[in-house]
Each structure stands twice: as C-alpha cells, then as structure tokens.
Amino acid sequence: MILRPIHTSLPDGTPILIREVAPGDADLLRLGFDHMSDASRTSRFFGGIAQLSEAQVTAFTSPNDRDHVAIGAAVPMEDGGLDPAGTARFVRLPDDPRRAEFALTVVDRYQRRGLGSLLLGVLARVACHNGIDRLLGYVMRSNRGMLSLLDGLDARREPGPDPSVHQMILEVHDDPGDYPATPAGDAMRRADMMARMSLVPDAMPPDPDPDP
Ligand SMILES: CC(C)(COP(=O)(O)OP(=O)(O)OC[C@H]1O[C@@H](n2cnc3c(N)ncnc32)[C@H](O)[C@@H]1OP(=O)(O)O)[C@@H](O)C(=O)NCCC(=O)NCCS
C-alpha cells in the first residue's frame, strides 16, 4: 500500500473517500464508467466507447507499485455502498523514469465540484514521492475543462500525436508552494497536505546513501 485511505469532503460538503484502486474495484470502475456521458468518455478515451474492455479494467485495477499508481474517489452512501466519482492514475515511462503519463477522470455528476483538482493533487504528491517530476497527459484541443485546469497550474502545451491533441506537461513540485497562486494551485496545495499525511511510511523511498 502506498497511500492510506483519505476521508475528506468536497468544497460543497459532499463526503468523499480517496484511496488506491485495488483489483476488487472492477465493478465500481465499470459503474463509474456507466455514469459518464458520451462527451466525457470521448474526452478521456478520444472516442465514444460504449464500455471498458476487460483488458482496460484489468489494467486500471492492477495493484499499485512505484511505476503504476491508480487513485480512486467515491462518495460513501447511506446504505454502506460507494458511488464511484473519479480516478487518477500514472504510469512511469520506461525510457524516461522521471516522467509518467497520467490520466484523470471525474464522473459527470461530480464535475466542477473540486474533485478533479483534488485527485490531481493527490496523484502529484504520490508521483513526487516516487521520484517523478513531470506528468504528461494527452488532452484533446476541444477539452476546455482539462485544458483550463492544467492552464491554472502553468502546465506546458506541446504538439500531441495528432493535430487534435495537445501533449500537456505538468511539473510536479516537492514544495507545493511552487504551484502557481491560482485557484487550481491552491487546490493542489490542499490535496498535497492531505496526501502527505496519508503516505504509508513503508512506502518511503530507501535512503540512497545510508550511514555505514
Ligand atoms: C477535466 C476533468 C477531470 C475536470 O474535473 P473537475 O472535477 O470538473 O475539476 P474541478 O472541479 O477540480 O475544476 C477545477 C478547475 O478546472 C477548470 N474547469 C474544470 N472543468 C471545466 C469546464 N468544463 N470548463 C471550464 N473550466 C473548467 C475550472 O477552472 C475549475 O475551477 P472552477 O470550477 O472553480 O472554475 C473532468 O471534467 C473530466 O473528468 N472530464 C472528462 C474526462 C477528461 O476529460 N479527462 C481528461 C483527459 S486525461
């Protein structure tokens, strides 16, 4: 385990649980996908897919390690169940280990309520802890929401694999004070503080130069 579960709330008071995605979360993941609009599916997967493939479900719920981390958010329900609300994940680039590709998804009914920036802040803290200093994301030029969130964090835009897609490069800061003085930067600072308190000590990186 990399991160202990975080029990917090969105700015509007909605309680939210943030924790690592685990292999047992396949049904929650499928349910969250079912609750996404076609527009959100297209923004996330660059195409209007009707359902996640088994390979995608397995990849998205495979156990976390230093190179692949998936964080999920869900709203605890009165009946004890969970309403899936979003995910954030990164996969380290094998040929450039200080960088990772990331993706962020918030189910439509929870969008514009501060969850995307919260998840991104938690993911960035874990990435930083794992020795990653840049998160790369492929974002459609038409994806105003994601571009505006990343613009608020001074992410860099570079050409993507085709003209309809930007490659966005988000610098991950060990000192959260280095995120810009914007609402998105403030959200990263709040998320960073929560995530720091929840990092599992055993997941601390080994001392590179231990005393003899
Ligand atoms: C992009 C996405 C992750 C944003 O999540 P979110 O929970 O809505 O984001 P937040 O509520 O934290 O928004 C933070 C800021 O981002 C900007 N933003 C987010 N959605 C926006 C939208 N639709 N239009 C304009 N700005 C938007 C705003 O500046 C917002 O702050 P504000 O609401 O105080 O104005 C979410 O819309 C989503 O999952 N979309 C579908 C999948 C996707 O596009 N994923 C990204 C591809 S990797």
Which of 146, 150, 167, when mutated, tests ligand 1's pocket best, judged by the most ligand atoms within 8 Å of its CB?
Answer: 146
Regarding the beta carbon of 44 and ligand 1, being less than 6 Å apart is answered: yes
- pLDDT given for residue 153 in this prediction: 98
The per-residue b/e assignment along 38-56, b for 16 or more CB within 10 angstroms, e otherwise, is eebbbbbebeeeeebeeee
Predicted local distance difference test score (pLDDT) of residue 210: 54
What are the structure tokens assigned to 52, written together? 């996640």
Residue 169: name the closest of 202, 105, 204, 124 by CA: 124
| C-alpha–C-alpha distance, residues 194 and 131, integer Å | 19
Angle separating helix axes 183-198 and 115-129, nearest 10 degrees: 50
Q: Are the beta carbons of 85 and 75 closer than 8 angstroms? A: yes
Angle (CA) 55 19 131, round 5°: 80
The tens place of each residue's pLDDT in the chain, 212 residues long, gives 899 999 999 999 999 999 999 999 999 999 999 999 999 999 999 988 899 999 999 999 998 899 999 999 999 999 999 999 999 999 999 999 999 999 999 999 999 999 999 999 999 999 999 999 999 999 999 999 999 999 999 999 999 999 999 999 999 999 999 999 999 999 999 999 999 999 997 655 555 555 55
Position 207 scores a pLDDT of 55
Domain ranges of the chain: 6-199
* Residue 114 CB–ligand 1 contact under 6 Å: yes
Q: Where does 6-199 sit in CATH, by number?
A: 3.40.630.30
Extract the tokens encoding 118.
Answer: 């919260």
Return the structure tokens found at 36: 């996404």
Task: Please give the structure tokens belonging to residue 169.
Answer: 């490069």
Residue 208: predicted pLDDT: 52
Report d(CA 86, CA 104) in Å as an integer: 8
- In this structure, what DSSP letter does residue 3 have? B
Q: Is 100 helix (H, G, I), strand (E, B) or coil?
A: strand
Q: Which amino acid is at 157?
A: R
| pLDDT for the residue 173 | 98
pLDDT of residue 166: 98
Is the CB of 183 within 6 Å of ligand 1?
yes
Whole-number pLDDT of residue 170: 98
**Index of the ligand 1 atom closest to the CA of residue 36:** 41
